[in-house]
Amino acid sequence: MKRRLIGIAAAGLTMVMALSGCGGGGSGGGDGKTIKFIAAKYSEKTQPYWQNLIKEFEAENPGYQVNLEVVDWEQIDQKVKTLVQTRQEPDILNLNKFSDFARDGMLYSVDEAVSPQVKNDFLANFVEVGKYRGTQYGLPFISSARLFFYNKEIFAKAGLSAPPESWDEVKRYAQQIKAKVAGVYPLGLPLGAEESQAEFFMWAMNNGGGWVDASGEWAVNSPRNVETLTFLRDLTKSGLTQPNPETTNRKDVFNLFAQGKIGMLNGAVFMPTSFINPVNPNLRYGVAPLPSKDGATHNTLGVVDFLMAFKKDDGANKEAVSKFLDFCYAKENVAKFLEDEGFLPVTRSAGEALNSDAYLKQFIDQLPNAKFAPTDDPAWQAVDGAAKQRLGTAVANTDPKAVLDQIQQTAEQNSE
Contacts with another protein by CB under 8 A lie at: 1, 4, 8-10, 12-13, 15-16, 19-20, 77-78, 80-85, 100-101, 103-104, 106, 192-193, 243-244, 246-247, 256, 378, 381-382, 385-386, 388-390, 392-393, 396, 398, 406
β pairing state of 135-136 and 262-268:
unpaired
Taking CA atoms, 320 is separated from 32, 34, 234, in Å, by 7, 7, 55
Which one, 104 or 352, has the nearer CB to another protein? 104
d(CA 111, CA 307): 14
Question: Least distance to another protein from the beta carbon of 63, Å?
Answer: 31
Question: Least distance to another protein from the beta carbon of 174, Å?
Answer: 19
Question: Least distance to another protein from the beta carbon of 97, Å?
Answer: 9
Which one, 193 or 288, has the nearer CB to another protein? 193
Which one, 43 or 75, has the nearer CB to another protein? 75
Which one, 33 or 388, has the nearer CB to another protein? 388
Question: Least distance to another protein from the beta carbon of 145, Å?
Answer: 25
Which one, 80 or 174, has the nearer CB to another protein? 80
Q: CA-CA-CA-CA torsion for 85, 90, 94, 99, nearest 10 degrees?
A: 50
d(CA 99, CA 415): 13
Phi-psi map region of 154: left, alpha, beta (phi>0 left; psi -120 to 50 alpha)? alpha
**At what angle are helices 167-180 and 223-237 packed, to 10 degrees?**
10
Helix/strand number for the chain, H first, E second: 20, 11
Which one, 333 or 393, has the nearer CB to another protein? 393
Question: Least distance to another protein from the beta carbon of 247, Å?
Answer: 4
Which one, 82 or 273, has the nearer CB to another protein? 82
Which one, 89 or 121, has the nearer CB to another protein? 89
Question: Least distance to another protein from the beta carbon of 2, Å?
Answer: 10
**Quick one: which of 183, 126, 160, 40 has its CA closest to 372?**
126
3-state percent helix, strand, coil for the chain, nearest multiple of 5: 50, 20, 30
Phi/psi for 111 (5° steps) reads -65, -30
Say which residues have a Cβ less than 8 Å from residue 377's Cβ, sequence separation at least 6.
99, 212, 383, 415
Question: Least distance to another protein from the beta carbon of 382, Å?
Answer: 6
| N residues, the chain | 416
CB atoms within 10 A of CB 99: 23
Question: Least distance to another protein from the beta carbon of 402, Å?
Answer: 10
Q: DSSP code of 22?
A: -
**For residue 360, how far is the Cα from the chain centroid?**
17
Question: Least distance to another protein from the beta carbon of 392, Å?
Answer: 5
Which one, 132 or 363, has the nearer CB to another protein? 132
One-letter amino acid at 313 equals: D
- H-only helix segments in 104-180: 110-113, 116-121, 124-129, 152-157, 167-180
